[in-house]
Chains A and B, each alone.
Chain A
Amino acid sequence: MSQSIFKLVDELPKDNLTVKSLQALDFVIPCEWKNLVGFENTIRTVTGETDEDMIQQIGDRAVYLFNDKSQGYQTALWLYQTIDSAGSALGTAALANKIGENVGFLSFLENITPKADKAQSIDLSLKVIVELLAFCQINGLPGDSIGDFLGALGDYGGESLMRMAALVCFDGLLPLGPDFILSVGDRLGQMQPSDLKENQAFNKISDFIPGGNPAGKLSFIGESFGSVSSWMGNFVGDRGLTPQLVAHNLSKYVEIADDKLDYVAAFLDMSTNYYEHTGIQTLAHRLIERAVAEI
């Protein structure tokens, strides 16, 4: 059985490596993200209500909604958690690969671990997919037209926007460089379905990816990445983001070697869980919005 939603939100860390690395991105989206933790605290902050009876009703309804599997909230949680745990394994493999390139006696590692760039490209694309899938599990397909749906997607703020900022900075710019959008698009275009089958994260979430067979799913992944490319490109361009700028700001919060960006990216992959952390916050936020409207 899934952990209760109130326990998940109560146990969100106030301060750890994940939180510090996200705080380091405040320069990207100033004041958008405050690390909101604690279930009751979230109810009070989201709704602005202080009446204890109302808070009880809101929390109770949110608990009921989360525990009803048909409503999709547990699937969304599973997606956020799964993509982060797959990332941890990926980070370890990529780091081992990096060490293998530079240290002679460990060079055999290059033969048995995925190439860092290809693996990071898949990781980035799958995180985009998870975001789209989790969005639909949590919010449905809002409105009556594609325009309405894109409007909902484009309305990202707070913890959801921070998740996307971290995706661009930690999974895009740092490991893959300033041209990551082009290079990932190219790599996806050249990929074979068999490349996906070797990928642990893909295998875990593939049942939820539309497209039928692996070739169809690869096509869906490529199209989805393509559809968010201009959003990501504008996000980077509007803010003048570069790998060096991200690493420089990160080094104020986390001790890193800011001239070894590949290692930094792999280290973050291994030791942070920003998708799960901000994903739980998004889930709580949306559940509470729905609960207070329904009671």
Chain B
Amino acid sequence: MVKSLRKLVTVGLLSLLLFVGITACSPQPPSRFDQAQQESTQKGAKAVAKKSEQGSSFNKFFPKSGNGYDRVYTQEKKGFAEAKLKKDGKDMAMMAISDTINTPSAAAKFEKSTTKIEGFPAVQQGATATALLVGDRFQVKVLSRSPDFTENDRATWLAKFDLKGLAKLK
């Protein structure tokens, strides 16, 4: 009687452990970003190329504060610089220059461009962004962060960049 009870308890405990073990090791639900995770963690994978321009080179080409807007620099990394436009303390837009040597598909979208701003090919992207390609390499983008900052506003501020200066950067 005691022997069979002990056997029952042992089997019960083992089953419980097995169940817990299986559920703990069960695979995570797939994510739409699994492929990017896998590719970007391969040996030698990089998000930023060695030859990329430093973000510090881009700062001088940004528009200055004006027309009631304050420009606040927010990021400067290799291949990328960003500033925010604020009005009365509120975030209105983001401005960025990036080196498409790090993101070839970003440059490729301009092949379909049908409009120009200041002579440079322009595209609308999503619901909130307008971008230009300068010198076939540097992407200049303005992104609305308030519904009050319109597509027209984005075009206005894109034109305020020193685009000719940026075009000479190589």
Binding site for B on A (CB under 8 A): 1, 4, 6-7, 10, 39-40, 47-51, 54, 56-57, 59-61, 63-65, 67-68, 70-72, 138-144, 148-149, 151-152, 155, 157, 286, 289-290, 292-295
Number of A-B residue pairs with CB-CB distance less than 8 Å in the complex they form: 134
Q: Which of B98-146 contact A (CB under 8 A)?
A: 98, 102-103, 105-106, 125-129, 139, 141, 143-145
> In this complex, what residue of B is CB-closest to A292?
B143
Q: Smallest CB–CB gap between A147 and chain B, Å? A: 10
Binding site for A on B (CB under 8 A): 28, 31-33, 35-37, 39-41, 45-48, 55-56, 59-60, 72-84, 86, 91, 94, 96, 98, 102-103, 105-106, 125-129, 139, 141, 143-145
Query: A152, B73: Cβ atoms under 8 Å?
Result: yes
* B residues less than 8 Å from A140 (CB atoms): 55, 75-77
CB-contact partner of A293 in B86, B96, B127, under 8 A: B96
CA distance A110 to B105 in the complex (A): 62
CA distance A267 to B96 in the complex (A): 43
CB-contact partner of A292 in B32, B91, B129, under 8 A: B129
CA distance A165 to B98 in the complex (A): 33
* A residues less than 8 Å from B39 (CB atoms): 64
* A residues less than 8 Å from B144 (CB atoms): 48
* B residues less than 8 Å from A148 (CB atoms): 59, 73
**Residue of B40, B77, B103 with most partner-chain A CB within 10 A:** B77
Query: B41, A67: Cβ atoms under 8 Å?
Result: yes
Query: B141, A293: Cβ atoms under 8 Å?
Result: yes
CA distance A62 to B58 in the complex (A): 21
CA distance A213 to B40 in the complex (A): 36
CA distance A294 to B48 in the complex (A): 11
**Residue of A4, A10, A140, A155 with most partner-chain B CB within 10 A:** A140
CA distance A148 to B80 in the complex (A): 16
* B residues less than 8 Å from A139 (CB atoms): 74-77
* B residues less than 8 Å from A70 (CB atoms): 46, 48, 78
Q: Smallest CB–CB gap between A140 and chain B, Å? A: 4
With A47-B143, A61-B103, A289-B94: A4-B33 Cβ-Cβ less than 8 Å = yes
CA distance A4 to B74 in the complex (A): 25
Query: B126, A143: Cβ atoms under 8 Å?
Result: no
CB-contact partner of A49 in B40, B46, B127, under 8 A: B127
With A48-B127, A63-B37, A294-B98: A143-B76 Cβ-Cβ less than 8 Å = yes
